Amino acid sequence: MIQVFKFSYLSGLAEKQHNTLIKLEPKRGTIYDRNLRPLAINVTAYSLYANPRAMSPAKKAEVIRRLPEILNLNSKFLTQALSKEKYFVWLARKLSPQQMEEIKMLKLDGLDFVKESKRYYPGGELAAHMIGFSGIDNDGLEGLELTCDRYLKGDFGWTQIMRDAKQRALLLEKSFFPPEDGKDLVLTIDETIQYIAERSLDKAFKKHNAKGAMIIVMDPKTGEILALANRPTYHLGHPTKSSQDSHRNRCVTDMYEPGSVFKIVTASAALEEKKFSEKNMFFCENGAYRVGNHILHDHQKHGNLNFSQVFEQSSNIGVTKIAQQLGAAAIYRYARLFRFGILTGIDLPGEVKGVLKPPAVWSKTSIGAIPIGQEVTVTAIQLVCAISAIANDGVFMQPFVIKYIKDQKGELIKEFKPTAVGQVISKETALRVKNILKGVVENGTGKLAKIKGVSVGGKTGTAQKVTGGTYSHSEFYATFIGFAPVEDPKIAVVVVFDEPHPSHYGGTVSAPVFQEVAQDTLRYLRATKSSVIVQENH
């Protein structure tokens, strides 16, 4: 009976009892900044398991009594785990070194450890909304950890080892299939610039009691994102301790009416179409102007202003008069050329395209709204790309955050190069708009963005939020977009605050953040360049 009829069953049981297949975890790829400084790495961690079938009731009771305090678990969980008729059950994953040492000192039978790896984020909150995080099994759950999981994760390996009659592992391997480690990501982000941007944004976010805040620093000539941050934020090592709202990458997922920063579209269209020159005069109606059945107001009463001054002083009435002569079709066409209402294609999850209505559905008052940044919604990433196009002689560059992917031997797997999407406006027009935006900072609403010894171009925007179908008089978005130096732009920056108070103007809330970030970033870039030149000379 045993040798013949039960041979297959008993030999299979013996095989299971004396041989065990162990899954070998691959090392998850590292995420680096552009200078190969690690932003996400793997560190060794140990996980605790039990063999309930090899434990007596007394041993199980001792484990249930002594482990809850060390593992911060309730005894009910341990009771359920140890009641299973299994050779292997997890009790706790990826323990701290202190926890592991405390458990080892107890010398409890039936317990052992498995060596695994644990994701570690050296910067804590730094670049949280780009990097994202992974779960207990090293699966990407948010951000680049999620979208690039197929590269980062790697492939599991296996090994078959022998066990003795008491189910203890013997140092005998029957077969071995090694794991394939994950690939490394190298980002366009510069850790130092990211820190500069986050430090300034965080300080202003708290100072102005804002509901939310966003900042992006971009190289206008390549489309490389040098820094991107949001507030509120969260710690990558403890994502469950923060709200879902703080996980949102507002820079790509949140759309809002931009207000006066959108006037760069009208200025560009007017000059590119050769309908106006910088010296054309406009009567700004002393602050009140009827468009359809709506009275349009300026934040300050103006009489006659020339074309450049209309944008320097951010006159809604002056811009509307320019737009009326251009026509709805031209405004819409240039807004599309600047990629509003279209995805930028940035390699981050969750991007939305905003809303840009075609002229066929404009109302009688739309010509007095859309050119000044109402009845249109945009994202922060769209704004920084638009101002970058002006800074980059009219060429729109696709934004990106992944520079290249390499394997553990340093071999290049995939590389992402700068991509020109198209010529939005001519180089000549871009130069003229740059000079107008330089005037905004030197003579107009953007004076707080000035940097000593550096020419700056930019545009302020203060937009009323729409609540309950009407424009609010107490809730605003404050925005500043800009670039520097004007002659040879190295960086373009967008700064946005959601419901700052008591001050809510883009020129007083967002412009100073731009000034601080741009000044420190340019100083850092000059120092870095000088260091490289010195090294090359040596």
Q: Phi/psi at 381 (nearest 5 deg)?
A: -65, -35
> Could you tell me if residue 2 is inside a domain?
no
Enter the pTM of the model.
0.87
> Could you tell me if residue 489 is inside a domain?
yes
- Measured in whole angstroms, how far is the alpha carbon of residue 479 from the centre of its chain? 18
pLDDT score, position 164: 66
Active site residue 530: no
Are residues 207 and 163 part of one domain?
no
> Could you tell me if residue 11 is inside a domain?
no
Which residue matches tokens 């730094």?
Answer: 126
CATH of residue 303: 3.40.710.10
* Virtual torsion, Cα 508, 511, 517, 522, nearest 10 deg: -140
> Could you tell me if residue 180 is inside a domain?
yes
Compute the distance between CA of residue 120 and CA of residue 99 in angstroms, rounded to an integer: 18
Q: Domain span at residue 45?
A: 21-187
> Could you tell me if residue 13 is inside a domain?
no
> Could you tell me if residue 409 is inside a domain?
yes
pLDDT tens by residue, 423-479: 999 999 999 999 999 999 999 999 999 999 999 999 999 999 988 778 888 899 999
Two structure tokens written together for 47: 């996980």
User: 200, 246, 260, 366: which one is catalytic?
Assistant: 260
Instruction: Please return the burial class of 410, using the count of CB atoms within 10 Å of its CB with bins 0-12, 13-18 and 19+.
Output: exposed
Looking from the CA of 77 toward its CB, the CA atoms found within 13 Å total 11
- Spatial CB neighbours of 465, under 8 Å, sequence gap ≥ 6: 256, 257, 471, 472, 475, 476, 477, 499
Low-confidence spans in the chain with pLDDT less than 50: 533-534
* Cis amide bond preceding 485, omega within 30: yes
Are residues 262 and 182 part of one domain?
no
Are residues 196 and 163 part of one domain?
no
CATH of residue 36: 3.90.1310.10
Are residues 475 and 457 part of one domain?
yes
Instruction: Please return the burial class of 325, using the count of CB atoms within 10 Å of its CB with bins 0-12, 13-18 and 19+.
Output: middle
Are residues 507 and 362 part of one domain?
yes
Are residues 261 and 147 part of one domain?
no
> Could you tell me if residue 148 is inside a domain?
yes
> Could you tell me if residue 242 is inside a domain?
no
Are residues 291 and 164 part of one domain?
no
Are residues 353 and 266 part of one domain?
yes
Instruction: Tell me the C-alpha to C-alpha distance, in Å, between residue 54 and each of 85, 111, 170.
Output: 10, 10, 16
Are residues 228 and 117 part of one domain?
no
* Cis amide bond preceding 232, omega within 30: yes
Report how many domains make up the chain: 2
Are residues 273 and 178 part of one domain?
no
Are residues 506 and 397 part of one domain?
yes
Are residues 477 and 355 part of one domain?
yes
